[in-house]
Chain A
């Protein structure tokens, strides 16, 4: 390692030699950096899973434009939308079709489980509004009180979910009715529910008698393949000039909800602070290690100053140490952080994992913030006055 660094740096790797001179302190410093990495990984993992979980239900459907109530910050939030706006939107030449989307929370009452599924009601005669992976089973929903159930739902035994087929459906009680799941799709537990369920709008309305077919939660529109989505949205906003409505592209709706969940909702803000605290902990640990190291070697640094080494040389040593700590601390950090996320993901069924992009972000962040700590620590070098050596 010494020879490799010597070749890379073109000088003696004094930072590396200093760090490894005291193995116990070096190990403690690496544990500290790794700990900060683990904090960041866990918080980022949860934030990322929130992003995945928020966008997950959007992936069940296929649409170009979504019309929602103005207070609908999320797919599962907000007031209803009058179906008349669907008919009004159809007047636009680029709108080819539309459906009402109903959303509700359905408790699943079974002997062994007590879970709540976010349930969507749709028109079962329009498969184009479902993602291709789900659309194949849409005909099953035309049977009253039938449903497609999330096979990754929290609390639903995997083997039981895997056995669900039209020939061996799963029947369960909910809202005082028996609902039968004839097939499954892949969803997963989110922050607002244990999983998902899709059924026909008629079945949905029979589970929620207070809801009316004329007032879905959202309206989904499909446009002609060559249509300009943004231009159509602008036209629809003029056509349906109701301030109580939000008319957005379907893609924008998902991103806006993601932003809302991460920046306006307490959970997103808390996890964001968690990342910040992890970064600060790492910054403080690396700074503490480096500034102590500088303080311990002030006489040696002063000697080097007397010999004619300039400030750039000393900054090079401290940055070398910072980068070594950052890089080597990252390795156990990503290993432990990844393991914790995997275990948490299995327990909660949230999509928790270290992704390549997350690992790259944390690695770059670790290196940058370690270098920043090192740059701050070099201020202590000013105390190394060679005249004091005499």
Chain B
């Protein structure tokens, strides 16, 4: 591929703690994610998957090595730049983290309104549209307390996608879902992501997801030990 990668990591190292308690979490990570790909990151607990995801998601500062996100070097980037970069990303967490006081539509609107200049009515319209795409057209005015676990996660997916992110980062998005809901959630991410040319990087332990991936990266002890392309 000749196109610029959406993520390009080179000799990326990361540590936690200081002094004698300092522990290295990532070792010389080299990674290239192509635009539009659907990549799954697997590995045992403590292998560094989440650390890598949070570095790519601009939620931690790069300590050593190079990490380019959408052409921007994150090593040495200031907080304001990281915040601006995060607006171009979509996040889905293991827990839905929906705001309990906001309806499904309002929760999704938060994903749209982070982009300055998006009018209230436009954000509301976009939110209802994407809630329709994830099959919740009849639940737009429901509070999270009145939604099932699968429905809440679908609202969280809608919230992550409504801003048309370039890169979707998902951390165990199906961990709290039953088999059908998990399958449905992954299908949604794949379908909407493909339609919008979005790149997805998904961390999971769920073997049911692996056969949906274009590429499977395996991380162990902070190192990429396997890189398998399935497509």
Tell me if B38 is interfacial: C-beta within 8 Å of chain A: no
Q: Which of B59, B97, B106, B111 contacts A387 (CB 8 A)?
A: B59
The answer to whether A12 touches B97, judged by C-beta atoms less than 8 angstroms apart, is no
User: Interface residues, chain B, CB within 8 Å of chain A?
Assistant: 50, 53-54, 57, 59-60, 80, 83-84, 86-87, 89, 91, 93-95, 97-102, 106, 109-111, 113-114, 120, 159, 171
Distance (Å) between the CB of A245 and the closest chain B CB? Answer: 68
The answer to whether A303 touches B97, judged by C-beta atoms less than 8 angstroms apart, is yes
A14 to chain B: which residues have CB within 8 Å? 99, 101-102
A308 to chain B: which residues have CB within 8 Å? 83-84, 86-87, 89, 114
B110 to chain A: which residues have CB within 8 Å? 12, 304, 307
Task: Find residues 260-317 in chain A having any chain B CB closer than 8 Å to their own CB.
Answer: 297, 299-300, 302-304, 306-310
The answer to whether A17 touches B113, judged by C-beta atoms less than 8 angstroms apart, is no
For the complex with contacts A299-B97, A387-B60, A390-B53, 4 further pairs of A-B residues with Cβ separation under 8 Å are A300-B97, A307-B114, A310-B83, A389-B97
Q: Mark A9-52, 1 if CB is under 8 A from B, else 0.
A: 01110100110110000000000000000000000000000000
Task: Find residues 368-390 in chain A having any chain B CB closer than 8 Å to their own CB.
Answer: 386-387, 389-390
Tell me if A355 is interfacial: C-beta within 8 Å of chain B: no
Tell me if A335 is interfacial: C-beta within 8 Å of chain B: no
User: Interface residues, chain A, CB within 8 Å of chain B?
Assistant: 6, 10-12, 14, 17-18, 20-21, 297, 299-300, 302-304, 306-310, 386-387, 389-390
Q: With the chains together, A272 CA to B35 CA distance in Å?
A: 68
Q: Which of A10, A17, A309, A389 contacts B102 (CB 8 A)?
A: A17
The answer to whether B50 touches A299, judged by C-beta atoms less than 8 angstroms apart, is no
Q: Which of A11, A21, A303, A309 contacts B120 (CB 8 A)?
A: A11
Distance (Å) between the CB of B202 and the closest chain A CB? Answer: 12
Q: With the chains together, A336 CA to B111 CA distance in Å?
A: 43
Ordered by A's residue number, 12 sampled pairs between the chains whose C-beta atoms are within 8 Å are A12-B109, A12-B113, A14-B102, A18-B101, A302-B97, A306-B59, A307-B91, A307-B159, A308-B83, A387-B59, A389-B91, A389-B171
Distance (Å) between the CB of B14 and the closest chain A CB? Answer: 12
Given A12-B110, A310-B83, CB of A389 within 8 Å of CB of B93: yes
Distance (Å) between the CB of B218 and the closest chain A CB? Answer: 18
Given A17-B106, A386-B59, A390-B50, CB of A11 within 8 Å of CB of B113: yes
Most B Cβ at <10 Å: residue of A6, A12, A302, A389: A12
Q: With the chains together, A310 CA to B109 CA distance in Å?
A: 16
B143 (CB) vs chain A CBs: closest residue = A21
Q: With the chains together, A17 CA to B107 CA distance in Å?
A: 12
Given A308-B83, A386-B59, CB of A303 within 8 Å of CB of B113: no
Distance (Å) between the CB of A196 and the closest chain B CB? Answer: 59
Distance (Å) between the CB of A309 and the closest chain B CB? Answer: 6
Q: With the chains together, A302 CA to B98 CA distance in Å?
A: 11
A386 (CB) vs chain B CBs: closest residue = B59
A9 (CB) vs chain B CBs: closest residue = B120
Q: Which of A299, A303, A309, A390 contacts B54 (CB 8 A)?
A: A390
B84 to chain A: which residues have CB within 8 Å? 308
A10 to chain B: which residues have CB within 8 Å? 120
The answer to whether B91 touches A12, judged by C-beta atoms less than 8 angstroms apart, is no
The answer to whether B101 touches A21, judged by C-beta atoms less than 8 angstroms apart, is yes
Distance (Å) between the CB of B161 and the closest chain A CB? Answer: 12
A300 (CB) vs chain B CBs: closest residue = B99
Q: With the chains together, A390 CA to B99 CA distance in Å?
A: 17
B109 to chain A: which residues have CB within 8 Å? 12
A17 (CB) vs chain B CBs: closest residue = B101
Q: Which of A21, A302, A390 contacts B100 (CB 8 A)?
A: A21
Given A21-B100, A390-B54, CB of A306 within 8 Å of CB of B120: no
